[in-house]
Amino acid sequence: MYLTKEEESILKGEHGESKRKAMELLVALGKIYGAERLVPITSAHLAGVSYKTIGEGGIDFLREMAEDAKVCVKTTLNPAGMDRERWKEMGVEERFAKKQLEIIELYGKMGVETNCTCTPYLAGNSPRTGDRIAWAESSALSFANSMLGARTNREGGPGALAAAIIGKAPEYGLHLDENRRPTVVIEAQLKDDIMDFSLLGQAVGVKMGASVPYFKGIRPDVNQAKIMAAAMAAAGSVAIFHVEGQTPEAKDLDLKGIERVQIDRREMNEMKAQLTTAKDPDLIALGCPHLSESEMKMLAGYLDGKKKNQDIEIWFCTSRRVKTWCPKETAVLEKFGKVLTDTCMVVAPIENTHKVTASNSCKACNYLPGLCNQKCLCNDSISLLEMVM
């Protein structure tokens, strides 16, 4: 792998120990995946924030890095294990909270923006078409590759942090044109409804695995695209997709000879049935990926004037910025549940407080059984909210 003189000197430790470690990791990744060089990035997005997922080993690594490391590009952070202000209301233990706050502080010390959200592109970190970036968080990086036309691999937490510290990423995988081309054409007819896009993403992920789908017959808005990207990434490791007539790279693609697959209503219903393992939730969790401003408005519009009659906890997970933009909507939603920021139903330790979680997100329903010991009810948000009336 070719390194510039400056990159060589970083690797020799002439710019400090943390930079050396970061460069060592990038070079190792580059060699494994056959990169020829490092390319400058415009932003990074880091996962590995919840104390539940990174544990003591993760904190030790961050303590070491934070001694002298600083990120040199715009860098944002994925959700943590709790709302920084409302962790007691979530039933999070004090020991967990202290560790979690330390993790966020360590990232902050390195210059990372600590608005913990999995929708950075809706909250101030929105790359442009053609930008090279290093993003972890499978749903966000797929959205950035596909809907925004930026270029990132499916980075791990340490790899994204190393790229943020150096300001570069090894050029392989989805940085290269040849790996962004479609491998399957998906034809689907959907209702104009968020749940349908979640189920379509699940079906494509399950059926096609780590493919590059090219969709015909759909035109997702931001909310539909983000939930579809999340489901495809969780069920099948999809990191980029194209939509005919919509996504930035869709127009110049050659589809000759590519396999065509139709996804119909029967398959989507099957996905919903497979992800549903219980009927009576003790938690309804919406906002996977984090709710956008328009979703907050839609949910508040539906709930305004209604009354909660059933004692089922509801979480509306969003980013701190979106919550700030939606004070009226937050007031309506708070009559029914908690509008939580910084966190989500999967990375919070809900296994200590809940047994059955309902969500409209197939991504959440993929992960909740394994990561949170939950049974799941997968259904659209309005049907779930009707359960508390």
Closest to ligand F3S by CB, 69 or 118:
118
Closest to ligand F3S by CB, 38 or 228:
228
CB 119 within 8 A of CB 287: no
Pairing outcome for strands 38-40 and 168-170: antiparallel
Is 147 buried (19+), middle (13-18) or exposed (0-12) by CB count in 10 A? buried
The least distance separating ligand F3S from the CB of residue 13, rounded to whole angstroms, comes to: 35
**Which residues in this chain contact ligand F3S in the complex, by CB under 6 A?**
78-79, 118, 139, 230, 288-290, 317, 344, 346-347, 363-364, 367
The least distance separating ligand F3S from the CB of residue 105, rounded to whole angstroms, comes to: 20
The least distance separating ligand F3S from the CB of residue 312, rounded to whole angstroms, comes to: 19
> Which of the 8 DSSP states describes residue 292?
P
The least distance separating ligand F3S from the CB of residue 131, rounded to whole angstroms, comes to: 21
Pairing outcome for strands 184-188 and 213-216: parallel
> Alpha carbon of 36 to those of 30, 163, 164: distances in Å?
7, 16, 19
The least distance separating ligand F3S from the CB of residue 155, rounded to whole angstroms, comes to: 15
Residues in the chain: 389
Question: What is the helix (H) or strand (E) element at residue 359, kind and residue range?
Answer: strand 356-359
R_g (Cα) of the chain, nearest Å:
21
Half-sphere exposure of 137 (CA within 13 A, CB side): 33
Closest to ligand F3S by CB, 69 or 134:
134
Closest to ligand F3S by CB, 18 or 343:
343
Closest to ligand F3S by CB, 7 or 113:
113
CB 164 within 8 A of CB 72: yes
- Amino acid at position 263, single letter: I
CB 149 within 8 A of CB 247: yes
Question: Residue 315 is encoded by which pair of tokens?
Answer: 């979480």
Closest to ligand F3S by CB, 139 or 247:
139
Question: Residue 344 is encoded by which pair of tokens?
Answer: 């989500």
Closest to ligand F3S by CB, 96 or 367:
367
Half-sphere exposure of 271 (CA within 13 A, CB side): 29
The least distance separating ligand F3S from the CB of residue 246, rounded to whole angstroms, comes to: 22
The least distance separating ligand F3S from the CB of residue 175, rounded to whole angstroms, comes to: 23
